[in-house]
Structure formats: structure tokens, C-alpha cells
Amino acid sequence: MAIPTPPKGAADIGVTGMAVMGSNLARNLARNGFKVAIHNRSVGKTEKVAAEHGGEGEFYPAESMADFVNALSTPRVAIIMVKAGAPTDAVIEELASLMDPGDIIVDCGNSNYHDTRRREADIRARGLHFVGSGVSGGEEGALNGPSIMPGGTAESYDRLGPMFETISAHVDGVPCCTHVGPDGAGHFVKMVHNGIEYADMQLIAEAYDLMRKALGMSAPDIGKVFEKWNATELDSYLIEITADVLQHYDFATGEPFIDVVLDRAGQKGTGAWTVQNAAEFGVPVTGIAEATFARSLSGGVPERQAGRKALPAGVQSVPVDDLEAFVEDIRQALYASKMVAYSQGFELIRKASAEYGWNVDLGAMARIWRGGCIIRAVFLNRITEAYERDPELALLLADPYFTGEIGKAVASWRRVVSYAALTGVPIPAFASSLAYYDGVRAERLPANLIQGQRDYFGAHTYRRVDREGTFHTLWSGDRSEVRED
């Protein structure tokens, strides 16, 4: 049965793409009093949303893209919720061909920010607005209030922002949505959010693994530990769900659920994007990188099988005399490593913002991540406060609050990393975070030797500590030094 043509200009906003995220976002808008046009390439999904959820608000189903666009009030706002890449480009082109100058196309998918910058420039040249917007919180967040990170022009935010702020999560009455910055800023910030999420999850997994292997604790008992930790400064969504997952039992076997789950972690690419962009910007995101590589290692089945058979352990037996004290050491190490991951992530946003002229408010980013999103945590309040104290803060860890917190944790952190190294428990995120911490606070790094080597084999030059200038040593000649600048 054909869908009736919706009235012209009846809807405040539209969503095309009625998979779970798209339909939930449309329902959230409708529940909050907005009139929503809905569309999907296969009309059956549009009909299903209208039939099952039509009572939640005012929906205007459209069978064709032309009817969908016609149903939108001007300036039109159309949200795309389809697969990233070529499908998104195809929908953008179809929408743009039907829209008028001043209309707004919004991509709420997990698009690469480079694609967003390209699309924004193209759409702007056609007189339209293009907004790349990060949306975090998964299916539940899309329906009940996500964290939303829209980029694009200030003019587009004037039209879109009030709607997004209304449907976003709210913490202390403040919406978890703000205008991030021009063109690709929103999707870049969402990418870094996801990278931090990778690090957070890996650190939690390493804490679990230490308690399991070092202390011989069962999954449910470890779950109870995480439950207690969630009442500390680690209070967060990820710690909360970790406690729940670890205390869940498999219905089929009666075993702890986590014990029947294969140890291979999937990934969709945003962690790798974060690492790639960090390398390009020269920002060491060690925790995020190791978390991404740990997922890759978990899926390397042939390599792991060969390693288990052939590689000697060379481990030591290190007794734990005080179980409770060691659990607290693990908690402190987790907290310290978490601080490093966030510091690195915010440094990456700062560098990209400076490069592209986005003027991203770092304190505001922490504020909108406090609710709705996967990394929501009480801890984020402290980050907002740090950037309010000093908007030009070069290193989040150098803020007085964080130097105090990490100072209380560093001895525990070192004990945990040392124990894991001696006993053969892999904790790449904990260990690399500590190495970064020691590197960033070091008076002098061994990079002087590396630069000397580079000058030796490639004449890459070097700078001196005792005078200005760029120099090269004639290594294959008389080894005299020449100035190159």
C-alpha cells in the first residue's frame, strides 16, 4: 500500500535512514514535540516505524525523497542516518538536487572528518549548509538523549541547535550538545571521543585481567569490585556496565557469561582513524594506539596460536601478600592511565583545531560528554573545570587538580606495571600510559641520539643545546660541523 504524500512544509525536521539509530533519533525528536518527516530507501522500514511508533509524536512518512524534502519546512533540515562512505555521498547528492539555497543537510553517521570537510565545501558551493555531527550513546542514547557534536556553520546551528539541544542528554540542566566548530570539527571530535572510548575499555579490560590472573578472582567477584569502584572517582557508564557484564551468568551453561565469550574484540575503524590522525598531527596517543592494537592482536588467531606453542614465558612468581591493597593499586593505575588517555585525546583535538581554525572549546567538549555518550563520567567535570581555569592549557595532566590526582596514584601505577611485567600479564595500555607520563615529565629524552643517527645516515641535521642554528656533521669526511640554515 502506497504511503500518502505528506503535506508541503509540515515537518520541522526530517530523518532519512530508518535503521535502528535513524528510527530512534526520529522517535526522540517526535517525543520532544518536533514534527518529523521520515524516509527510507526501502519503504517497508518507513511504514514499520510509522505503524509501531506513530503514537509517540507527529510523523510524516514519505515514500520518495522528493516527497520527503517537500514535507520539510524552510529552511529545510534533513538528517542522514545511513552507512558511511559511498551510500552517504549518494544520499547527499539526491537531497542536494532537491533542496534550495539555505537548506541544511546533516550527516549524523560515523563519517571520516576528511569526507565531511570535502562534502561541506561542495555543498557550500551550491548554496546549502552541510553539518557533520557526531552522535554518541548508541541505540539507547539516540532514543533517550545522546551526546551530540555538530559541526558546520554558526548559521546552520541557529536553526538546528535548539532541536538538537532539546533531544540531547542533559546533566545538571545543561544540554550535552554544543556547536563544535566549522566543517569537519564535529566528526573529528566524535572520532577522538571514540578513540578515548577504545582506551577506556582496554584499561578496564587490563584491570580485569590482572585481578583474574594475578589474584585468581572469579568474574562475578571482579564484577563486585567494579561495582565498588563505580562509587569512586571512576564513576562512569563503562565501569557500571563492566560490573553488570562480569556478574551476568550464561543461560545455556550456567557459567559466568564472560567465561563463554571468545576473546576476540571487534572494531569499526574510528580507533584506527584516531591513531592515524594523531600520527599526522604529531600527538602521541599511546593509550588509544595500544587499545587499537590490542583489538588487532586479539583477532590474530594464527599468530596467537603460534606464539602459545613456541614463545618462552620467562616469568617470575611474585606473591601478592595483601589482596585488598593490590586491588587498590590496580584501581589507582586504572585512574592514572585514564587521565593520560583523556589528556592525549584533548591534545589531539587542540592540535587539529589550531590547524584548521576550528576554535574548539575543549572545556565544552568535556561538558557535552558528561551525559548520553559511552564515555560519560563524573571525571569529565574535572576536565571542564581545568579548561575553565586555563583555556590555553598545553597539557591537561599539568592542571593542578590532575597533577595532584596522578601524584597520589603514581606509586601504585608503577607497582602494577612492574608486577605485570614480571609475571607476564599483558597490560599494553597501562604500561604505555606510564611510559608516556615518564616521557612527558622528563628533563631530557634520548631523541638526541636518534637525531644524531638520522644526521649520520641521512644528513637530516640537528640543533644544539648551546647555540642557535641547524647543523650537520660531515660524518664521511673530516667530521667537522657545518651550519645548514
State the catalytic residues: 190, 197
Q: CB neighbours of 395 closer than 8 A, spacing ≥ 6?
A: 343, 347, 440
Which among 419, 179, 427, 151 is positioned nearest to 286, based on CA atoms? 427
C-beta of residue 167 within 8 angstroms of C-beta of residue 145: yes
The b-or-e profile of 62-100 (16+ CB within 10 A means b, else e) is: bbebebbbbbbeebbbbbbbbebeeebbebbebbbebbe
Find the helix or strand (DSSP H, E) in which 37 lies: strand 36-39
Beta-carbon contacts of 193 under 8 Å, excluding residues fewer than 6 positions away, are 134, 136, 147, 149, 345, 369, 373, 374, 375
Rounded (5°) CA angle 433-439-445? 150
Grid cell at residue 297: 592482536
**CB contact at 8 A, 263 and 205:** no
Nine-digit cell at 263? 576473546
On whether the CB atoms of residues 448 and 433 are closer than 8 A, the answer is no
- Cβ atoms 138, 111 nearer than 8 A: no
